[in-house]
Amino acid sequence: MEAGDWVPTSWRSKEAAQSVKYPDEAHLAKVLDKVKALPPLVTPSEIERLRHQLSLVQKNEAFLLHAGDCAESFAACTQENISAKVGLILSFSLILTWGARLPVVRIGRIAGQYAKPRSSATEKIGDRDVMIFRGDNVNGFNPDERTPDPERLLSAYFHSTATLNHIRGLLTSGFASLHHPRDWSLLHVRSPSLRDEYEAISQGLSDALDFTRTIGLAAGRETQSYERGGGRGVLGEADLYTSHEGLLLDYEEAMTRFYPIPDSTISRELQVGTPAPKKYYNTSAHFLWVGDRTRQLDGAHIEYFRGIRNPIGIKVGPSMAADELVRLLDIVNPEHDNGRVTLITRYGINKIATHLPVHIKAVQESGHPVIWVCDPMHGNTLTSSTGLKTRHFGTIISELTSCLRIHSECGSRLGGVSLEFTGELNEEGYSVTECLGGSMELSEEQLGLRYQSFCDPRLNFEQSLDVAFLVSNYFNNQRRGNSHRKGNTDVLYSELGGNTASASAAAA
Ligand SMILES: O=C[C@H](O)[C@H](O)COP(=O)(O)O
Ligand SMILES: C=C(OP(=O)(O)O)C(=O)O
Ligand SMILES: [Mn+2]
């Protein structure tokens, strides 16, 4: 089917991997009619703005941070959790901007990241075989609620709406202001030399913020709080875009709307006087990605993704052949639009060196414009001795630093990172304990203390800032030409356990 013949239902003639079978199809149809009638969550203007910002990432003029939960849950949709997540995304991007001196485009895995693809269809709980948990918009985590219920799609719409409303409220009320960044106390950092490095970086950053405020004061700006009519702070106009895996195509189709491209975009792209062309926008999120398990060239997901105007991500794992990757790009981006495709690579520490250089070369030769992003999480999952799914911090940063190095060796550039992290705290103010290691040196015995993820293990607040300091420091050294400090000789890298024997063994 040619691009012009595409409609939001086109995917229905193809096979959808990881599809969900509902016991009552009529009930599903009724819910989808309701979703179709509900207002969009995001607008074409916002989607176009993100496309533009991603085109800057592609030109090395910005860096992309894609991060958030593996699976959001309805129960975690609270003021505290949402603020903690947004706060972490803002802190992370501030640290990165400091080191790289580049604006950071922030895309949260938030306000709709519910559906999960799984390795097995069922699991054994006690002596029962039950359907696996597929995310809060499909079935319940409670073993007695595993039958897919279409009402959950509606509930997902409203939880996404509540989440997004709170994010918009936070960002337009000075939450991103530099006047109150979240406290980055370094008490959790065990190693003295690592703490010294962190202190040097955060001191430099806080001096820069003080200077910015002083300049603002001298210029007569920033004297008033936001509530008294002042600006929102240097980060006050912060954009935070939403994203999720476009897995449940019934829902994505229902949220796909036919709208004219906003005027300002047309004037850049078309002759004046031409009627505004209409495009299909997925209005459930600004950015959608297709997962590593659902990216078959002739499958339903790629058929759906090729027709939407949103910028899209494609997960690229070790099972992707180089020519398959290029054919995939031909399908989803035949016009070679800038900012349209982000390739999110997730090979695992033991496989990245075999696959990434081959993929980079194939894409370079094809002439396709892409943004390369490293997801150092999904190829590095393991089961701890206590049976909990976990990831070792050392393995995560090993894949990330290998990725940075390989891109630079191949004449390419890493444009961003994709992380599963959360800033959420329990009632006593402690972070989750899902990934091992990091500057807090989280041990296997501690994993069970506050393990809250319903799917994959996330970096907690402290471990996420470790990654932010590490990447920021890498770019800072690169900017200054301190090549001797790159890679393995970097104190941050060695202290944080990169390339350790235990980390490699864990990922084997
Ligand atoms: O988030 C990614 C996948 O849904 C997840 O890694 C699958 O986990 P599983 O192997 O436990 O099914
Ligand atoms: C399902 C995910 O990843 P992947 O498709 O890369 O396994 C994810 O990002 O949560
Ligand atoms: Mn995941």
Identify which ligand lies nearest to the alpha carbon of 344: 2
Strand intervals (E) in 416-499:
416-420
How far is ligand 1, taken at its centre, from the CA of residue 119, in Å?
A: 6
Q: 412 CA to middle of ligand 1, Å?
A: 29
Q: Give the mutation target among 138, 287, 314, 346 for probing the ligand 2 site: most ligand atoms within 8 A of CB.
A: 346
420 is in an annotated binding site: yes
Q: Is 109 a pocket residue for ligand 2 (Cβ < 6 Å)? A: no
Q: Is 30 annotated as a binding residue?
A: no
* Model pLDDT, residue 221: 52
Mean pLDDT of 202-214: 78
Question: Which of residues 173 and 412 earns the better pLDDT score?
Answer: 412
The pair of structure tokens assigned to 61 is 């003029």
Q: CA 506 from chain center: how many Å?
A: 24
Q: Could you tell me the CA-to-CA distances from 497 to 219, 273, 397, 442 in Å, in that order?
A: 45, 60, 8, 12
- Determine, yes or no, domain membership for 187: yes
Q: How many CB atoms lie within 10 A of CB 469?
A: 27
Q: Residue 24 falls within a domain, yes or no?
A: yes
109 is in an annotated binding site: yes
pTM: 0.93
**Ligand 2 atom closest to residue 71's alpha carbon, by position in its atom list:** 10
Ligand lying closest to the C-alpha of residue 292: 2
The CB of 66 under 6 Å from ligand 2? The reply is no
CA distance 430 to 414: 33
> How do residues 367-412 score in pLDDT, each as one tens digit?
999 999 999 999 999 999 889 999 999 999 999 999 999 999 999 9
Ligand at minimal distance from the CA of 313 is: 2
Strand, helix or coil at 263? helix
Domain that holds residue 25: 3-212+238-507
Task: Output phi, psi for 382, to 5 deg.
Answer: -145, 170
Alpha-carbon dihedral angle through residues 29, 32, 34, 35, given to the nearest 10 degrees: 180
Structural domains of the chain, count: 1
Classify residue 409: in a domain, yes or no: yes
Q: Ligand 2 centroid to 216 CA: how many Å?
A: 43
Alpha carbons 339 and 309: distance in angstroms, whole number = 11
Output the pLDDT for position 226.
62
The CATH code of the domain that includes 287 is: 3.20.20.70
Question: Is residue 148 a part of any domain in this protein?
Answer: yes
119 lines ligand 1 (CB under 6 A): yes
Q: Is 217 contained in some domain?
A: no
- Which tens digit of pLDDT belongs to each residue from 37-63? 999 999 999 999 999 999 999 999 999
Q: Are 93 and 104 in contact (CB under 8 A)?
A: yes
- Cβ of 378 closer than 6 Å to ligand 2, yes or no, is yes
Q: Which residues surround ligand 3, an ion (CB under 5 A)?
A: 70, 456
Ligand 1 pocket test, pick from 69, 70, 118 with the greatest ligand atom count within 8 Å of Cβ, gives 118
Residue 70 annotated as binding site: yes
Residue 77 assigned as binding residue? no
Tell me if 228 is assigned to some domain: no
Residue 262 placed within a domain: yes
Give, using CA atoms, the residue closest to atom 12 of ligand 1: 118
Percentage, residues of the chain above pLDDT 70? 88
- Please work out whether the CB of residue 117 comes within 6 Å of at least one atom of ligand 2: yes
Instruction: Give the chain's radius of gyration (CA, Å).
Output: 22
What are the helix and strand counts (H, E) for the chain? 14, 14
Residues 17-22 have a mean pLDDT of: 98
In a domain, 221, yes or no: no
Please check the confidence at residue 506 and state whether its pLDDT lies above 60: no
Neighbours of 178 (CB within 10 A): 21
> Is any atom of ligand 2 closer than 6 Å to the C-beta of 301?
no
116 lines ligand 1 (CB under 6 A): yes
pLDDT band at 32 (very low <50, low <70, confident <90, very high): very high
